[in-house]
Amino acid sequence: MDMEQLMGNPTTVSVSEVVKESKAARTLVFEHPDVENIHPGQFLMVWIPGVDEIPMSVSLLNPPLMGITVLPIGEATNALASTQERQRIGIRGPFGTYFDSNCGSALIVGGGIGMAPLRPLTYELLDRGVDVVLLIGAKTKSELVYAKEFKTLNREGFRLELSTVDGSVGF
Ligand SMILES: Cc1cc2nc3c(=O)[nH]c(=O)nc-3n(C[C@H](O)[C@H](O)[C@H](O)COP(=O)(O)OP(=O)(O)OC[C@H]3O[C@@H](n4cnc5c(N)ncnc54)[C@H](O)[C@@H]3O)c2cc1C
């Protein structure tokens, strides 16, 4: 990617789907022309017209689709979390380094919205034949992100453990 693409105007994308991941977190799914060159661990600068531009981890990599998962905590994240299908947002990036998925087995530990970059990493590792134990934690059951998706994931070498601070699910 060249400097003009990194520093220049954002690429405008249309949100094709909004997925409820927990009580408050939402994944915005969209097509991106550069999705094949984006890796788990990298982030995008997401421009919400008239509001702000903020960093968001790449949480879904399924070419030609990709996605970001947003937890509303302030003005920009609230605006992003209430995005509707067919609404447009601006994307710059990807930025940052990415995970090295060259290993024999992996223990992945994520809490709350910190799970966002770890979802595509989990799939990348499983696709490479790496055994994965995934630990997802949150304060309460309703704040667990991607728990429903991974609970039904039936892949060889994959194990899921859930943990909550209030003990409403898991250990
Ligand atoms: C590399 C990177 C990747 C990120 N990936 C994601 C992601 O995938 N999903 C996601 O939802 N967020 C992610 N974030 C965090 C997100 O960018 C911020 O939450 C967002 O910029 C806040 O903007 P706002 O206008 O909504 O809130 P603001 O108005 O800027 O902040 C509202 C309040 O929340 C506090 N606050 C701001 N950010 C955080 C934070 N991260 N943790 C705790 N308190 C905070 C502020 O101090 C303030 O009190 C990422 C941040 C970085 C740097």
Beta bridge partners of 161: 135
DSSP state of 49: T
* Residue 95 contacts residue 43 (beta carbons within 8 Å): yes
Residue 25, ligand 1, Cβ within 6 A: no
The pLDDT value recorded for residue 2 is: 63
* Alpha carbon nearest to ligand 1 atom 14, residue: 56
Is residue 68 a contact partner of residue 27, using CB atoms and an 8 Å limit? yes
Q: What is the reported pTM? A: 0.94
Choose the weakest-confidence range: 1-10, 44-53, 159-168.
1-10
Asked whether residue 12 carries a pLDDT value surpassing 70, the answer given is yes
Most informative mutation of 23, 52, 77 for ligand 1 (most atoms within 8 A of CB): 77
134 beta partners: 108, 160
Residue 6 has pLDDT above 70, yes or no: no
- Going along the chain from its start, the domains and CATH numbers come out as 3-95 (2.40.30.10), 105-164 (3.40.50.80)
Residue located nearest, by CA, to atom 48 of ligand 1: 74
Tell how far the Cα of 154 is from the centroid of ligand 1, in angstroms: 33
